[in-house]
Structure 1
Amino acid sequence: MGALAGLVSLLALLPLGFVAWATLQTGWDTAYALIVRPRVGQLLINTALLMFITVPLCAVLSLALAWLTERSDIPGARTWAWLAVAPLAVPAFVHSYAWITVAPGIHGLFAGVLISVIAYFPFVYLPLAASLRRLDPGMEDSAASLGLGPWAVFFRVVVPQLRLALCGGSLLVGLHLLAEYGLYVMIRFDTFTTAIVDQFQSSYNGPAANMLSGVLVICCFALLAVESRARGNARYARIGTGAPRTATKRRLGRWTLPCILLPVLTTVLALGVPMVTLTRWLIAGGVDVWLVGEIGPAIFQTLALAGMGALITTLAAIPMAWLAIRAPSRFQRVLEACNYLVGSLPGVVVALALVTITVRVAMPIYQTAVTVLLAYLLMFLPRALISLRAGIAQAPVELEYAARSLGRTPAQALWSVTMRLAAPSAAAGAALVALGITNELTATLLLAPNGTRTLATAFWAYSSEIDYAAAAPYALIMVLLSLPMTWLLYTQSKRTSGR
C-alpha cells in the first residue's frame, strides 16, 4: 500500500516538477525577462484586486445568509438555505454567458467581481452554515448573561468560532479565482489563467506560458500560506458535549422584510439571471438548436469521461486513504500533502505539464483519452481522498483483523470488509469527482483528442462564436446533471451537523 501511495504521490508532483524543470530549461536571463515585464505586472494587479475584493465579499455575504437561515426566524429558512447552495449547479462560465447576454457591455474588474461572488459564495456558505448548526448556544448565553449585547456576542463569541469555516471556504474561493478561465474570457478580464491559455493556443509560446504558470503556482502557494496563517492554532473543540439543544432563533421583527431582501436578491442574481437567460435563448432558438446528432454524443462523451475519471481517481485514492487511517506517520503525512498540493493548482498548469511531458517522453499518449484522464486524476484526487479517508475511519480495524484470521489475505480483507463499509463515502467522493469533470473546461480544451466534444467544450465552441442560442442546450444539460450533486452536498451538510 505504501508503494502504491508513493507512486500516486509522485504522479501528483508532476506539475510542480514541470514548473521547476521549465524554469531551469528556459534559463535565468530569459525567465527573468519573461517574468519582469509590464504584462505580468498588470496580470498581478488584476489578480490581486480580484482576490482582495471578491473573497471578503463572499465571506460577508455568506456569513449574513448563514446567520439568517440558521439563527433567525426568517420565513422559509430551509428554502433559502437550499437556494444558497443551488448556484453551485451552474458552472462559472455559464454565469458569464448569462450576464453578457443580459448586459452585453459588462466587462472588466467590476464584472469579474460581481459574477465571481454570485458563482462562488456557496463554497463559503456551506461550511459556515454547518458550523453555525454545531455551535454550543450555551457559550452565547453565558456571554449575554455577562452583559454583552447581541452584536457583541456575535462578533466576540460566534465569529471567532467560525474562523476555520471562513478560512476554509475563502481558500476554496481564492483557488477557484486563480484557476478560472471561461468566466473571465467572456467578460474580457485578463488573469494569469486566461493569459496562459492565450499564449499556448495562439502562438504556442511555451517559455512565456511556462513562466506565467510558475508565477501562478507561486500565487497559489502564497494563498495557501495566508490561509494557514489566518486559520491559526486556536482550539475549537470542547471537552464536554455542550448543551444538547439548538440555538434559539432570533426574532427579526420589523427587520423581517429588509432581511428577506438579501436572500431574494442573491437568488435572483445567482439563479434567476442564468435560468431566465437560458429560457430566453432556448425559446429564441426553438427546436432547431436541439441538434440530437451533436448533443447526444456530447452527453455520452461527458458521462464516459466523468465515469472513467471518477472510477480511476477513486481507486487511486484508496492506498493513501487507507494509510492515513491505518498507518499514520510523518512520511505518510508528507505523501498525503503531495496529493492535496496538486489539487490547489489551476487546471491549465496541470494541462501544460502533461502536454510537455507527453510530447517529450510519451508521444503515443499525446492528445489521447489517457492524458485527459491523467489530468482529471491529478486535479480531482483530493475530492476522492477526503471522502474515502472519512469512510475508512468509520470502518473498525478489528473487522479487518477478524477477516484475516479467517484466512483472507490483507488485500481481500481490505476489499471485502473495509471497502464495503466505506462504500457510501467512496460513492460520494466518486460523485464529487464526476461533477468536477462534467464542468471542467480548461484542461479538456488543451488535452482532449481531436473529435472529443464534451458538454463544456461544445458550449464553449458555440458561445465563442457568439451563437448563444446553440450554446443554451449544453448549458442547460450541464445544470441538470449538476443539480443532484448539489442537493447531495446540501443534505450531507445537514447530516454531518446532526440536523
Structure 2
Amino acid sequence: MVALRSIIAAPQVGKPGPVVTVAALLLVAATFVPLGYIVSTVFSTGPERAAELVFRPRVGELLRNTLQLVVCTVPICVALGIGLAWVVERTDVPGKSWWGPIFAAPLAVPAFVNSYAWISIFPTMHGLGAGVVISTMSYFPLAYLPAAATLRRLDPAVEESARALGSGPVAVFTRIVLPQLRLAILGGGLLIALHLLAEYGAFAMIRFDTFTTAIFEQYQSSFAGSAGSMLAGVLVLCCLALLGAEAGLRGRARYARLGSGAPRAAPRIGLGLGTIPVLAGLAAVTAGALGVPLWTIGRWLRIGGADVWDFTAIGNALGQTIGLAAAAALLTTLCAFPVAWIAVRSTSSFARLVEGANYITSSLPGIVIALAMVTVTIRWAPPLYQTASMVIAAYVLMFLPRALINVRAGLAQVPVGLEEASRALGKSGTSTFFLVTLRLTAPAAAAAAAMVFVAVATELTATLLLAPIGTRTLAMRFWALSGELDYAAAAPYALIMIVTAVPVTYLLFTHSRKAAGI
C-alpha cells in the first residue's frame, strides 16, 4: 500500500508531493537493478576474462542466430500485419467485422504453446526456418494492431487529393499511406524484436539456440556463472541497440491534421475478382496462427481422453498461478500510480526520467531480470532467495510498463478542477483521492491489472528460475510435461492458459479501436 499512501500524501492537488517523489525514485532504483547487475558482473569478472568469455566462437554463433531471427522475422511480421490491416480496414472483404478480433486473438496463445503445436504436427521442425514460422504466427498481431489503429485514424481527404492529382493506388499507398504508418511500423517492429530476444520456451522446443536459451542452459549447468552473465551482458547490449535504432529511425516526425476535420471513414476499395484469393490468404493466416494450436490441443485431448485431466494437479497449478498473478497484478498497478502521477502532473525532465527508466528495464529479457534477482538475493538477502516475494518483485519489474500505460491514461482524464473543488468543499486529500481520483481512474487501473495478470499467468522463463521449490504454475506444468514428450498430459494446461488470456486479448483489441476513435 506504499504507492497508494504516497499518492494520498501529495500536499497540493495535481502536484507530486515529496512522498510521491520518493516512492517513484525507489521504483526507479529498483528498475536499474538488472542493469546494475550486468555492469557489476563485467567489472568483477575483469576485462581480460570478460573479453575471453565474450569474444569466442559460441557467442558469435548465438549472435548470428539471434540477428538472423530478428532480421528475418520482423520484416515478415510487419509486412503481414500491414497487409492484413489494409485488407480489413480499407477493402470490402466479406466478414470485415470478424477479421479484426481474429487477427488479435493469436496474442492469447503463448509462443511456447505455438511451438508445441507446430512440432506436434511436424516433429522434424527445428532451426532458423522453424523459428521464423513460429515467431511470425505468434507475434504478427503486434504489428497488425497499431497499423489497423493508425489506418482508422488517417484523414481520407489526403489520399483523395493524391488520387485527384493523378496518383494511382500503388503510388497513394507508398507515398501517402505508408509514411503515415511509420510510427506504427517502428513501434510494432521494436516490440516484436524485443519479444524475439526474450523468448525461451518456443526456441528451446525447436532446438534453435539464441542468447536466451544459452543463458538458461548456462545457468542450469553453472548456477549463474560468469559465462552466463557475459552472455546476458551481450543480450542487454542487443536490446539497448534496438531501442536506440528505433528512436533514431522514429526521429521527430509527426503525422497529424492541423484541425479536427470532419471525422469520417475512408471509402472501402472493392476487391472484385480478388475477393476469393484474399479470403484464401486470410484463412491461411488464421489457420497457421489459431488453427494449428487449437487443432493440436484438441487432438491431444482426444488422444489422452479423461486420463489427462488430473484435476488435483490442474487445480493446484491453477491456484498457484492465480495467486501469483493476482498478487503481482495488484502490486504492479499500485506501483504504477506514483510514476503515472509524476508523468501526468509534471512536465520536467525528472518526470521523463522516471517514466523512461521503467520502459528501458521492461525491454530487457525476463531471464536477465531473473538472474539479477538471483544474484542480489544470494549476496545481500539470502532469506528472500526462492521465495514468492522475490518472484512477484521480478514480475513487477518486468510488467510495470503494461500497468503504467493504462494508469497514466486514466489519470490524464481526471480533471484537476474536480480535485480542487473537492478540497474547496472541505474534503481531505485522502477523501479526495478515494471519492474523485480513484473512482475516475478505476476502469483504467482495472484494465492495467488484467493485462499484468495474464502476462504473469503465461510467463515461463523468470518463473522457472525464481519460483520456490514446490511451485507448479500452469506454464511450469506445461513445460515439464511437454519436455517429457507427454504432449497429451500437457494439453489441458495449454488450453487453460489460452482461455485465461482470451478476455484480455479482446480488451487489448477494443482499446486499440477506442484509441482510433471507433
Does TM-score exceed 0.5, indicating one fold? yes
State the alpha-carbon separation in 2 of the partners of residues 441 and 408 from structure 1: 46
State the shift of 1:203 in Å: 2.7
Corresponding position of 1:66: 85
Aligned to 1:94: 113
Report the equivalent of 2:445: 426
Name the residue aligned to 2:483: 464
- 8 Å CA contact retained: 2:81, 2:141: yes
SS in structure 1 opposite 2:260?
coil
Q: Structure 1 residue aligned with 2:271, among 234, 252, 258?
A: 252
Mapped to 1, the partners of 2:412 and 2:427 lie a distance apart of 21
Task: In structure 2, give the amino acid aligned to 1:23.
Answer: V
For residues 412-469 of structure 1, what are the alpha-carbon distances to aligned partners after superposition, in whole Å with 9 as ceiling and x for unaligned? Answer: 4233311210111111111111111011000000000000010000000000111101
Matching residue of 1:175: 194
2:473 is aligned to: 454
> Contact 1:138–1:243 (CA<8 Å) still a contact in 2?
no
Q: CA deviation at 1:495?
A: 2.0
**1:248 counterpart SS class:** coil
Match of 1:488 in 2: 507
Q: CA deviation at 1:21?
A: 0.6
- The question of whether the paired residues in 1 share the 8 Å contact of 2:301 and 2:308 is answered with yes
TM-score, with length taken from structure 1 = 0.99
Identify unmatched segments of 5+ residues in structure 2. Answer: 1-19
Q: Distance in 2 between matches of 1:365 and 1:408?
A: 41
1:45-444 matches, within 5 Å, as 45-444=64-463
Q: Which amino acid aligns with 1:480?
A: V
Q: CA RMSD in A?
A: 0.9
Q: Is 2:91–2:270's contact at 8 Å kept on the other side of the alignment?
A: yes
* 8 Å CA contact 1:137, 1:243 repeated in 2: no
> Are the equivalent residues in 1 in contact too, given 2:224–2:371 (CA < 8 A)?
no
2-structure distance, mates of 1:496, 1:466: 43
- Residues 317 and 474 of structure 2 are in contact (CA less than 8 Å); yes or no, is this contact kept in structure 1? yes
Instruction: Indicate the residue corresponding to 2:53 in structure 1.
Output: 34
Checking the alignment, whether the CA contact within 8 Å between 1:313 and 1:380 is kept in structure 2 is: yes
Instruction: Determine the C-alpha separation between the residues in 1 that align with 2:136 and 2:441.
Output: 35
> How big is the shift at 1:335?
1.5
2:5 maps to none
Per-residue Cα deviation, 1:107-149 (whole angstroms, up to 9, x for no partner): 0000000000010000110011011011000000000011100
Note the C-alpha offset of 1:497: 1.4
Measure, in 1, the Cα distance between the counterparts of 2:386 and 2:435: 37
Measure, in 2, the Cα distance between the counterparts of 1:169 and 1:410: 40
Give the gaps of 5 or more residues in structure 1. none
Structure 2 Cα separation of the partners of residues 154 and 53 of structure 1? 24
Task: Read off the aligned partner of 2:437 and give its amino acid letter.
Answer: T
Shift of 1:229: 1.7
Q: Distance in 2 between matches of 1:286 and 1:470?
A: 10
Give 1:15's aligned amino acid. P
Range moving further from structure 2, 324-333 or 21-30: 324-333
Measure, in 1, the Cα distance between the counterparts of 2:461 and 2:397: 14
Q: Are 2:9 and 1:9 aligned?
A: no
**How far did 1:402 drift?**
1.8
Q: Distance in 1 between matches of 2:428 and 2:49?
A: 56
* 1:138–1:242 Cα contact (<8 Å) kept: no
Looking at structure 2, the residues matched to 32 and 373 of structure 1 have their Cα atoms a distance apart, in angstroms, of 34
Task: Choose from 498, 502, 505 the match for 1:479.
Answer: 498
Are 1:25 and 2:44 an aligned pair? yes
Distance change (3 Å), C-alpha of 1:344 and 1:205: closer
TM-score, normalization by structure 2: 0.95
SS in 2 for 1:422: helix
Q: After TM superposition, give the deviation of residue 230 of structure 1 in Å.
A: 1.8
Instruction: Give distance in 1, aligned partners of 2:488 and 2:228.
Output: 33
